[in-house]
């Protein structure tokens, strides 16, 4: 599975959009981009995933560049409860792929 690069930390003001970048320049054509987050002392929570089209759900939006070498997770209106470590992971779809976690981005939402 391809590796990802994320900034170690970011701050965001409460109520503003949080844009979390991820580089995955070695991504393969059959690899999806997954985003999870981990709030302190809890298990990771699934946020969203995509292949090449932009995706949106009730939690976030995922913007994937046309060349698929990078993506951005957008939390449209960050709240204090969104403070967490956010992980961007690329994985082959289906039953053969494993989720391998990198260091992630620690997002601190400030009042």
Partner 1 sequence: GAVVSQHPSRVICKSGTSVKIECRSLDFQATTMFWYRQFPKKSLMLMATSNEGSKATYEQGVEKDKFLINHASLTLSTLTVTSAHPEDSSFYICSARDQTQYFGPGTRLLVL
CB of 57 to partner 1, least distance (A): 10
Residue 106: beta bridge partners? 9, 85
Residue 30 vs 103, nearer CB to partner 1: 103
* C-beta of 27 vs 87, nearer to partner 1: 87
CB of 23 to partner 1, least distance (A): 17
Q: Give the footprint of partner 1 on this chain (CB under 8 A).
A: 34, 36, 38, 41-46, 49, 87, 95, 98-104
Q: How many residues comprise the chain?
A: 111
Minimum CB–partner distance for residue 34 and partner 1 (Å): 8
How far apart, in whole angstroms, are the C-alpha atoms of residue 11 and residue 109?
A: 6
- Which tokens is 14 given? 């409460």
Could you tell me the CA-to-CA distances from 105 to 36, 51, 79 in Å, in that order? 11, 21, 16
Query: What's the distance, CA 29 to chain centroid?
Result: 18
Q: Which of 57/79 has CB closer to partner 1?
A: 57
């Amino acid at each position: 599975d391809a590796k990802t690069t994320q900034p170690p930390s970011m701050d965001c003001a409460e109520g503003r959009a949080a844009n979390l970048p991820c580089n995955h320049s070695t991504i393969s054509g059959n690899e999806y981009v997954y985003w999870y987050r981990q709030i302190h002392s809890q298990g990771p929570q699934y946020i969203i995933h995509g292949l090449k089209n932009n995706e949106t759900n009730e939690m976030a939006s995922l913007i994937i560049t046309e060349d698929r070498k990078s993506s951005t997770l957008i939390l449209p209106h960050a709240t204090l409860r969104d403070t967490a470590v956010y992980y961007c992971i690329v994985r082959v779809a289906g039953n053969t792929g494993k989720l391998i976690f990198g260091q992630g981005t620690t997002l601190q939402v400030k009042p």
